[in-house]
């Protein structure tokens, strides 16, 4: 849907822009020539109503000139600067909640054309702990949002609800880092629930990036469903060059890299940087209004994303 909208936006911008140029360099001068000819034929006594009719812009030209600046501004803003996204699921709880509307920095990881997504300007690379929006590798028509866990060359292990990380051994380093558990401490376990079970909220330190995650202690680890990288055991991955390993903060309610593999660099859309509005939805309310109508605004959530 996002790709289709981008294509439509580009086509509308090009179409209205071409109509504007056509009118400026061809149609408008022809209208002026007709006006001059008509004025000469009537010795300058051409009625004002007739003058207005001769120089009047066609409906298509008038409409195109009215909407082109707006559409062009939206295209540039959405394609190269910032794009709003809505959080549709709880896979990134507690960091992001259903009803959060976030802003994604489209130029953080370089710029791509909005149709073919060919990169034409390099910028920064994703870092561990970044929350990124990307094209789902199994269906690039769908946008996903997850947290970067592993960079190219990193070894990532997830077993028994514990995340282990071994950063890539850089060339020239005398001693390579080993596989170490990512440190976490419990915060609470009665704030969030899943199917009636209380979730454990932990504060996790991912290479210096502190953030909270959720664990369901009663949820069995689905090792048999994990993506099995050739030559490695289930739950043990080495991130290929040019790719990233991502996971949701709601560890037992997230379809992420553990199940389908890695995010290629060309699938990156941008970095989530802030919440600009957050709506609250009460699914259990007794009201004639549909459940998708918000019941309130969570003003306390507006701001930057950890």
The catalytic site residues sit at: 91, 146
Per-residue tokens: 187: 């915060």
| Interatomic CA distance for residues 157 and 167, integer angstroms | 11
Q: At what angle do helices 28-41 and 48-55 cross, to 10 degrees?
A: 150
Number of CB atoms found within 10 A of residue 103's CB: 19
| Interatomic CA distance for residues 55 and 88, integer angstroms | 51
| Interatomic CA distance for residues 240 and 267, integer angstroms | 14
Q: At what angle do helices 2-22 and 59-76 cross, to 10 degrees?
A: 130
Instruction: Confirm if 5 and 12 have CB atoms less than 8 A apart.
Output: no
Burial class (CB in 10 A: 0-12, 13-18, 19+), 226: buried
For 274, phi then psi, to 5°, come to -165, 160
Paired residues of 47 in beta bridges: none
Instruction: Determine if the peptide bond prior to 77 is cis (ω within 30°).
Output: no
Instruction: Confirm if 86 and 75 have CB atoms less than 8 A apart.
Output: no
**Residue-by-residue DSSP string for 88-150:** -SSTTTTTS-TTEEEEEESSTT-EE-TTT--EEE--PPP-TT-EEEEE-TT-TTSEEEEEEEE
Cα–chain center distance at 69? 24
């Amino acid at each position: 849907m996002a790709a289709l909208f981008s294509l439509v936006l580009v086509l509308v911008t090009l179409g209205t822009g071409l109509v504007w140029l056509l009118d400026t360099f061809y149609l408008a001068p022809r209208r002026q020539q007709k006006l001059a000819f008509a004025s000469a034929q009537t010795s300058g006594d051409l009625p004002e109503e007739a003058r207005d009719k001769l120089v009047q812009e066609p409906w298509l030209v008038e409409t195109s000139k009215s909407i082109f600046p707006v559409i062009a501004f939206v295209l540039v803003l959405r394609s190269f600067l910032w794009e709003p996204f809505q959080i549709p699921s709880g896979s990134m709880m507690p960091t992001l909640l259903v009803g959060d509307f976030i802003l994604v920095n489209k130029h953080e990881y370089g710029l791509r054309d909005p149709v073919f997504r060919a990169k034409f300007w390099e910028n920064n690379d994703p870092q561990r702990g970044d929350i990124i929006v990307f094209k789902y590798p199994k269906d690039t028509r769908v946008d996903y949002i997850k947290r970067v866990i592993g960079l190219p060359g990193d070894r990532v292990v997830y077993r028994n609800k514990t995340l282990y990380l071994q950063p890539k051994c850089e060339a020239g380093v005398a001693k390579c880092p080993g596989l170490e558990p990512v440190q976490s401490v419990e915060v609470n376990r009665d704030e969030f629930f899943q199917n009636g079970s209380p979730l454990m909220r932990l504060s996790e330190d991912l290479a210096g990036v502190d953030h909270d995650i959720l664990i369901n202690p009663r949820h069995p680890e689905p090792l048999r469903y994990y993506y099995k990288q050739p030559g490695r055991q289930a739950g043990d991955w080495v991130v290929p060059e040019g790719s990233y390993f991502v996971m949701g903060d709601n560890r037992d309610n997230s379809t992420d890299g553990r199940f389908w593999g890695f995010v290629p660099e060309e699938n990156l859309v941008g970095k989530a940087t802030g919440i600009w509005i957050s709506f609250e939805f009460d699914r259990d309310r007794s009201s004639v209004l549909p459940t998708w109508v918000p019941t309130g605004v969570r003003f306390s959530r507006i701001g930057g994303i950890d």
